[in-house]
Structure 1
Amino acid sequence: MTNLISRIDQYNKLRDPDFLELKYKAMRENPFRFFRGSCHLFYEDLSKNTPFEDPTKTWICGDLHLENYGSYKAANSQVYFDVVDFDEAILAPVSWEILRTLTSIYLAVDSLGLPLKSAEGLATTFFKTFHDVIMSGKPVAFERNTVQGLIRRFIKSVEKRKSKDLLSERTEVKGSKILLKIIEGKTVKIMPEEKKSITELVSVWADKHKHQSWKVYDAAHRIAGTGSLGLDRYVLLVKDKALKKYFLLDMKESITSCLKPYIEILQPEWKNNAKRITGIQNLMQNVSPPVLETLIYKHKPFVLKKLQPQADMMNLKLCKGNIQKLLEVIETFAEISASAHLRATGRFGSGTTDELIAFFQTSSDWKSRLLKYSKKYAEQVRQDYFTFCQH
């Protein structure tokens, strides 16, 4: 117990204690949520027990699990479904990405109330579909007109969401002012001095980056995600004076990828970690969101994104225990993942598409080892989860 707890505490030691407690509370929810909040444990263990030699150099999300796929409106106003979290993104062996996703499948069946034996078929489906897309050498785009089934219905439903509804939910009128609403579990009030420094900083930044019509009126701490809880994160209320419209921005602190200590591949020299995150996101996503920027606050890099009513993570509970529906979703997730890797081949030190295909031509030799490791590690996560909860 002591070793596990010390590893978790050591990794999170620089985080805000109050928000870190929220992270630890979230991690106690179930083994899958614990897995999401302890990415560093997965890669530390994997680096010591890799199931086979993988020479590939691939741009990966780094924390790819079943709840890091979702929808968003891109710069071309289309709603896409894609990988949406790149905080841990890095140049790494492609099998490391697959192993984390497969492990998440073995863990997710618990939270979905499905029998453990169903995970084997889901994991096999994910690997086979991923393999087939890589072998085709052609990435696929996922928007409403190119997907079917549950994900198509999901995209259509989020397309109907309006910005005014998001603003109505997150803001309130006080006197003559529109301000952010403090919502339990979503936002926390910040001190006036900090609010003043953030609003002024982002307003000045916007003026220098061709957003002269933007003015920031309010700011609050934002609570979201699992792995990043405890890092500095804010939601900003902004008005585009030219359009006479308000919108919300997410401002999230960026730190070193938790994979970096365990990766021997030479990495590009990104200017900072926010540049790393946005740079890799631009490489891997089919089309990026309309606002994907970086800035420095208190000598720390942050990623700046627009909060969208269309942005949402895929809720697997929509499958309602239907294995066939879940299989279709898993197939789409695999196609999305493999497509993201293919888009980024041959860029900034990554291997070529031909090199990736050549590696996957040998996959019959290591497919069983991937599945075996993921299944076994899922059991380790369950044990670690119970140990963590007892602390």
Structure 2
Amino acid sequence: MSSGIRNEITETKRYLRKQLLATIFNQFDGKLMGLSDEDRGNKYRKMSKDPYSFFRGSAYLFYYDVTGLPFTFHTPENKPTWLLGDLHFDNISAFQNEKKEVVFDVDDFDEGYFGSYLYDVLRMVVSIRLMSSQHGYTGDDTEEFVESFLNDYIGQLQRFYSGEEDPVQLQFTKANTSGPIQNVLHNLEEKWTSTEVESSAAQFDSIKTAIDDDNLVDLSHQEKEEFLRVWEDYIESISSNIKKHPQFYAVKDVMKKAGAGIGSTGLERYYIMIAGEGHSNIILEAKEARTPIPAYFFPYDETFWKENQHQGRRVVHTQQAMHHKADPYLGYLTFNGHDFYVRERSLFTNELRDDDLQEFDSMVDTVKTMAKITAKIHARADVDIEDGLMDHHSEEAILHEIESNRTRFIQQLMVWSAYYQKVVEADFQLFNEWISETPKLQDKTNKKPIRSQ
């Protein structure tokens, strides 16, 4: 084949893929999300940092690509798993649960939906590959990380299925973790037990003193009045078995902020200080919820939507299903025509840092724990929970598809994830080219540096 024909074929493929990227981004960020040029610039500036950031911000591209592929190990449509929907390295962190216990668990439920478990697993193993590449690990190292994740995911499901462990009760704490995750949990425990920190947390007198963020703004008088009116709907939505007296939820202060995460850009957020009891003010976060991305690509699930027509309620149900001890402030409301979910805005959280993942053994320990957490959220959010929407055990349905040929399952996902890592890296280059060729996006994307979140 002559070099001219080869170049023509290569450039045609790149052109067509770039056009596909443009179509998908314009449809989701433009038409469906309704992001302004400014918001799209903010989002794309974060995504243009590296392939992993691009992957985080383009979940719709991921689902477009993978839902049409004939993977061998899907569970049948009548035995779905409750998915996190956007599982990756940065959506698992350390925080306090309602009993003030420090745990390591998933922390972002915006894309929760019903479907095959395999999509969460596929998204996570690609995330592992991109994160490994970003930290300079070799190809052989990365293969071991992915294989460790898959083996431990299966192993944890087997322990649930045999009754050795209970997904409803299992938590990941300092006692049953190791490496960087154990260190992150230990550091957060020390931060909480500090007399100075504990005292200051109980006595802050405004949202701005509790949350150090220059992007918080006051509401107009009219907007605040309307927000206070719908706040009654939030109180009504709280589970009756944990709801306190109405005065407990009395609003003392409320401020607004635009979404900060890559995927959350353009979503409205409100921070609300409520009275609580005694002198301990409590900060809640009301975050806008939209139709989850997987829903655009999966078969329509009438059972799921019958219970989750309100997008905020859907997110609340997802968190309640996946967490051992769910936030007691979980609730939802509708404000200015948009659905929101409400949760506590914990002042005591901790995430893995780049420095925590520089050693091979540290990465292995981390992916193993993340695999167990993935198995836990999948096995817990089914018939095991009181208000579950399923009539089967997810771990049994998943293992039925995997156990007959575990070796092939691992090989298939390792080969596919290595392939899709290259797709993401090539798409990242096309994405940046597309921005540079689109004047209004180039102008907004290059306008100013993104403040670290």
TM over 0.5: yes
In structure 2, the CA distance between the partners of 1:194 and 1:94, relative to structure 1 (3 Å rule), is farther
Query: In the alignment, which of 233, 243, 251 is matched to residue 278 of structure 2?
Result: 243
Q: Which amino acid in 1 is paired with 2:262?
A: T
In structure 2, the CA distance between the partners of 1:157 and 1:276, relative to structure 1 (3 Å rule), is same
Structure 1 residues 14-163: aligned runs within 5 Å: 14-17=33-36, 18-56=38-76, 57-136=80-159, 137=161, 138=165, 139=167, 140-162=170-192
Is 1:227 paired with 2:263?
yes
Q: Secondary structure at the match of 2:82?
A: strand
**Where does residue 314 of structure 1 map in the other structure?**
352
Query: In the alignment, which of 313, 319, 322 is matched to residue 284 of structure 1?
Result: 322
Q: Conserved in 2, the CA contact under 8 Å of 1:158 and 1:309?
A: no
Distance in structure 2 (CA, Å) of the matches to 1:150 and 1:135: 25
Q: Which amino acid in 2 is paired with 1:15?
A: G
Distance in structure 2 (CA, Å) of the matches to 1:141 and 1:77: 13
State the Cα deviation string for residues 267-304 of structure 1 (Å, max 9, x = none). Answer: 42213111111112211222212322211111221111
Name which one, 1 or 2, has greater alpha-carbon Rg.
2
State the Cα deviation string for residues 181-217 of structure 1 (Å, max 9, x = none). Answer: 7999762425524652465246545665634133231
- Worse-matched range after superposition: 305-314 or 332-341: 305-314
- Worse-matched range after superposition: 143-152 or 296-305: 143-152
**Where does residue 343 of structure 1 map in the other structure?**
380
Distance in structure 1 (CA, Å) of the matches to 2:419 and 2:218: 44
Q: Which amino acid in 1 is paired with 2:281?
A: Y
Q: Conserved in 2, the CA contact under 8 Å of 1:344 and 1:350?
A: no
Q: Conserved in 2, the CA contact under 8 Å of 1:195 and 1:219?
A: no
- Worse-matched range after superposition: 289-298 or 47-56: 47-56
Q: Which amino acid in 2 is paired with 1:84?
A: D
Q: Where is the strand percentage greater, Structure 1 or Structure 2?
A: 1
Distance in structure 2 (CA, Å) of the matches to 1:167 and 1:250: 22
Distance in structure 2 (CA, Å) of the matches to 1:198 and 1:30: 41
Q: Conserved in 1, the CA contact under 8 Å of 2:218 and 2:254?
A: no
Query: In the alignment, which of 247, 271, 281 is matched to residue 309 of structure 2?
Result: 271
Q: Conserved in 1, the CA contact under 8 Å of 2:94 and 2:105?
A: yes
State the Cα deviation string for residues 334-368 of structure 1 (Å, max 9, x = none). Answer: 01111111112334136424333222213333221
**Where does residue 260 of structure 1 map in the other structure?**
295
Q: Conserved in 2, the CA contact under 8 Å of 1:186 and 1:222?
A: no
Q: Which amino acid in 2 is paired with 1:8?
A: F
- Worse-matched range after superposition: 377-386 or 9-18: 9-18
- Worse-matched range after superposition: 188-197 or 295-304: 188-197
Distance in structure 2 (CA, Å) of the matches to 1:112 and 1:7: 29
User: How far 1:220 sits from its partner (Å)?
Assistant: 2.1
In structure 2, the CA distance between the partners of 1:179 and 1:343, relative to structure 1 (3 Å rule), is closer
Distance in structure 2 (CA, Å) of the matches to 1:45 and 1:166: 47
User: How far 1:178 sits from its partner (Å)?
Assistant: 3.8
In structure 2, the CA distance between the partners of 1:317 and 1:15, relative to structure 1 (3 Å rule), is farther
State the Cα deviation string for residues 87-114 of structure 1 (Å, max 9, x = none). Answer: 1111111111111000101111132233
**Where does residue 8 of structure 1 map in the other structure?**
25
Q: Conserved in 2, the CA contact under 8 Å of 1:203 and 1:216?
A: no
Q: Secondary structure at the match of 1:180?
A: helix
Distance in structure 1 (CA, Å) of the matches to 2:175 and 2:410: 32
Identical pairs, percent? 21
Tell me the matched-pair count: 384
Distance in structure 2 (CA, Å) of the matches to 1:76 and 1:83: 17
User: How far 1:117 sits from its partner (Å)?
Assistant: 3.7
Structure 2 stretches lacking a partner, 5+ long: 1-17, 239-244, 436-453
User: How far 1:379 sits from its partner (Å)?
Assistant: 0.9
Q: Conserved in 1, the CA contact under 8 Å of 2:247 and 2:275?
A: no
Distance in structure 2 (CA, Å) of the matches to 1:245 and 1:8: 44
Structure 1 stretches lacking a partner, 5+ long: none
In structure 2, the CA distance between the partners of 1:201 and 1:155, relative to structure 1 (3 Å rule), is farther
Q: Secondary structure at the match of 1:121?
A: helix
TM-score (structure 1 length as normaliser)? 0.89
Q: Secondary structure at the match of 1:81?
A: strand
Query: In the alignment, which of 388, 396, 412 is matched to residue 369 of structure 1?
Result: 412
Q: Which amino acid in 2 is paired with 1:381?
A: V
Distance in structure 1 (CA, Å) of the matches to 2:58 and 2:315: 19
